[in-house]
Structure 1
Amino acid sequence: MFDFDEIVERYNKKEITLNEMIDIVCSHLSDSYIPKVYKNTSKMTTEEWENARRDSIGGSDQATIFGIETYGRTQRGLFFDKKGIMPVNPKAKNIAVLDSGHLLEQTVADIFYTKTALIPYEIKAMFEHPLFPHIRCNIDRFLRYSGHKEPMGILECKTTHEFNTSWEEEGVPFHYYLQVQTYLSTLNMDTGYIACLFVPVQARYMAASLYQLSKAFEKMPVKVANDICDSMLAVAKTDSEIEPYIKVFLHLMLGEFYIPRNMLKPFADEMSKKFVYKKIERDKEIEKEILSKDISFWYEYIEKNHMPPLIESGDACAELLNSYLPPKTGEIRIKATPAMEDKLNELATLEKQKKMFKDKLDEIEKAQKELYTDFIEALDGHSKGVLILSDGKEHTLSNASRNSRSTNYKLLEEGYPEAFEAAVKESTSSPSFKISRI
């Protein structure tokens, strides 16, 4: 019988190394282990859910642990999160994206059902990996065949604002692939699907608003529903791209936030070009790598309270440091380490290269402007023209002015001081790092 606590005890007593512990855990992946329910989530409070998530590694954490930068996340940021260390200057979350995803999760599952005849259903529980209890998962939907009670696989539901090449042919964005493989390992299942609905930005904001309304009202007041319908229909008339989304939003709203069954197939057919789903089979090799990296991350960093190195892009690392380091007044004197001096020399070299490219770019732009002269003269004051070449090809010329408006803040402040004070909001930008004399 597999006993993880016994393995950890042997590791803590230094009877086995971390690599040996990883090998022992991974050797049991071929066992017919039974999925373990950590907690029922139907009545779980937000605080309870956050604590359960913080004391574990989830599917969406895998890319970060693998060193793949997604959404600016870093391993050190994940370490801070698991340790409950809050940023001093937190980055604002895109709540609209999160809320629209929550609202449209069932819609994605419904469209998937019409495309495959596999029946998605929800189990309100957080699952824990039987071989490594620090991996916990919330599954969007389980899947079963019609007439069957037992699940045959799982479905991960996604929404995004535009189609990208990582979904083409057999492709799945790798961070999502890792997420589904983690779930399959936790549940000891062989088949998963991931489905994604591509939703324009404006439609996502509408979906987010509806999600907030669904939380605010048990049953939406008639006047509120009518007002929303009127405004959405007005938008639908002017924007053909989001018209089909508005149709489903109206049904979501009036049908107590689900799509009536008789509307599913027509909507799914209409959204065929905006919807994609992929089958993901369990991969034992990537599964071993997931378990290996998760165990290593947990015991090398979380258990030892040791911060991971900063290995991600400069932008992501700078954003992390600026978020967690409290601002201080005054000036600090820093004794340069040999590594700092090497990096300073490298920065100086890069700065010279940058200046050389800038000087070259300035020369090119100057030469371009000199060549423009004949064409501007030929336009004879017109803002647009068509240049016809000897072979019949045409090029459009443009020399148009642009109107712009600016606000005279001094005049506004003097004439309407109270309105000016009420309208002006101060904000502090993120620090901008510079080094002098390089």
Structure 2
Amino acid sequence: MSLNLNYEAEVLVETDGLTREQWLDYRKLGIGGSDCAAIMGFSPFCTRRDLYYDKIGLQPAMDEEEGNWVAKEVGHRLEDLVAEIFSRKTGLKVFPIRKMFRHPLYPFMLADVDFFIEFPDGRHGILECKTTNYNCQDKWKNDTTPVNYEYQGRHYMAVMNLNEVYFACLYGNNEDEFFIRHMERDMDIEEDLIAEEEYFWTENVLKKAEPPYTEKAGLVLESIRKHYGPADKDADSVKLSRPLVKNLEEYLARKAEKSALEAQIKKLEEQMKSSYAEVVEELGVSCRGILKTGTSEYEVTYNPMYRTGIDKKGLEKLKINHPDVYDDYVSVSESRRFSVKKKGAA
């Protein structure tokens, strides 16, 4: 594929005045920037299958703040603030264009850009505004950009035919708790990205063909859970297809291997306890000890750990004696435990 760079992005729709539902309907007409990571296999919260279901209108794709509407709302409300901080720190002019764009050569590629940048020489670039909490700032360490955001930026540069994108991320409550990352267009990566998006759109979405699961097992299991919904204990048993015997045998083999390793770990832990029992005896109630030899010094700590919680009996008492409190603070979430029992041939 040889990319044609002689084009201008088309306007699909003016986004001012659109309801949330209307905006989501327009997003289903193509692939947006936040969809790219799932297509490329780098989304931490969405599989290709989830995205496929979203595009055909079956169910919405999972996103980073799913189940946490507050985090999502904070991100939207702080976009203008993040853009203002970026502008003050860099001296660059930023401005919004409330339109959804599409690529004129690949019309399945859509872009709803947060802000645009006007450089002193008259060129334009893209600004993506992000927020995160203090505990998640490591995702931006060492001058890196989270890979799912990187693909988002590259998608936007492709649609808008622009060569630079900045990411601005606020992770605290002052302007110093702020990341700025810069990325330039890479035509080799862009070519691969467009090819993957085109395949997903034409071979999966348009042909109504489910893409296979290729992501990490935890993400796949969550996708399956979301698609089928809560467990039904009264549902009939399912007669599994014969080829799945290899999956069950592999599971049993891995389970046996895990049990053997856990037994070895338990034995080693007992040996470690035996090794430090005399040291603990000498420490008594102290939490720290020092041992010096001619060549080495050992510092030992034996600190207490406290955990506050309510056990099962406590929860039962709370439910009986204070049902209003129980209903307000105790929630039930579903998880499912997989098990296999192998029997001999009948």
Quickly name the TM-score band, shorter chain normalised.
Answer: 0.7 to 0.9
Q: For 1:320 and 1:51, how far apart are their aligned partners in 2?
A: 22
Deviations along 1:18-74, one digit per CA (max 9) or x if unpaired, are: xxxxx5xxx4x3242122111111111111101011221011111111122x23210
Percent identity, please.
27
In the other structure, the counterpart of 1:387 is: 290
1:364 positional shift: 0.6
Q: CA separation in 2, counterparts of 1:145 and 1:323?
A: 44
**In the superposition, relative to structure 1, how do residues 121 and 394 fare at CA in structure 2: closer, same or farther (>3 Å)?**
same
Q: Is the 8 A contact 1:143 1:155 kept in 2?
A: yes
The corresponding residue for 1:38 is 12
Structure 2: 5+ residue stretches without partners:
none
Equivalent-residue separation in structure 1 for 2:309 and 2:40 (angstroms) = 48
Give 1:363 deviation, angstroms.
Answer: 0.6
Q: Counterpart of 2:255?
A: 351
For the pair 1:158 / 2:141, whether they are aligned, the reply is no
Separation of aligned partners in 1, 2:199 and 2:13: 25
**Cα gap change, 1:366/1:424 in structure 2, threshold over 3 Å: closer, same or farther?**
same
Q: Which one-letter code corresponds to 1:431 in the other structure?
A: R
Residue in 1 aligned with 2:81? 107
Specify every segment of 5 or more residues in structure 1 that has no aligned partner in the other structure, as ranges: 1-22, 200-244, 249-266
Q: 1:182-218, CA deviations, whole angstroms, 9 ceiling, x for partnerless residues? A: 111111122222222233xxxxxxxxxxxxxxxxxxx
Tell me if structure 1 keeps the 8 A contact 2:170–2:179. yes
| Aligned length, in residue pairs | 334
Q: 2: CA distance between counterparts of 1:159 and 1:422?
A: 33
Is contact 1:383-1:400 (8 Å) kept? Answer: no
Aligned to 1:255: none
Shift, 1:121, TM fit: 0.7
1:190 aligns to what?
163
Kindly state the Cα deviation for residue 435 of structure 1 after the two structures are TM-superposed: 1.8
Q: Give distance in 2, aligned partners of 1:142 and 1:64.
A: 25
- Whether 1:66 aligns to 2:40 is yes
What letter corresponds to residue 268 of structure 2 in structure 1?
Answer: I
What is the RMSD computed on CA atoms of the aligned residues?
Answer: 2.8
C-alpha spacing 1:406/1:191, structure 2 compared with 1 (3 Å): closer
Match of 1:220 in 2: none
1:298 to 188, 201, 206: 201
Verify the 8 A CA contact 2:252 2:340 in the aligned structure 1: no
**Pair 177,335 (structure 1): closer, same or farther in 2 beyond 3 Å:** closer
CA 1:193/1:422 → structure 2, altered by over 3 Å: closer, same or farther? closer
Where does residue 144 of structure 1 map in the other structure? Answer: 118
Cα deviation code 1:265-299 (max 9, x no counterpart) = xx4xxx0xx32323222222222222211111111
Q: Do the aligned partners of 2:318 and 2:326 also contact (CA within 8 Å) in 1?
A: no
TM, length-normalised to structure 2: 0.86
CA distance in 2, matches of 1:52, 1:198: 31
- Alignment partner of 1:363 out of 267, 278, 284: 267
**Which structure has the greater CA radius of gyration?**
1
Partner of 1:317: 220
CA distance in 2, matches of 1:282, 1:419: 57
Structure 1 pair 155–360 and aligned structure 2 pair: CA distance change class (3 A):
same
Q: Deviations over 1:288-340 (max 9, x none)?
A: 222211111111111111111011111111111111114442332424423x2
CA distance in 1, matches of 2:276, 2:153: 55
- The whole-number CA distance in structure 2 between the counterparts of 1:283 and 1:291 is 12
* Correspondence 1:376 to 2:280: yes
CA contact (8 A) 1:156 1:195 kept: yes
Counterpart mapping for 1:174-189 below 5 A: 174-189=147-162
CA contact (8 A) 1:142 1:151 kept: no
Alpha-carbon distance, 1:368 to partner: 1.4
How far did residue 122 of structure 1 move?
Answer: 0.8
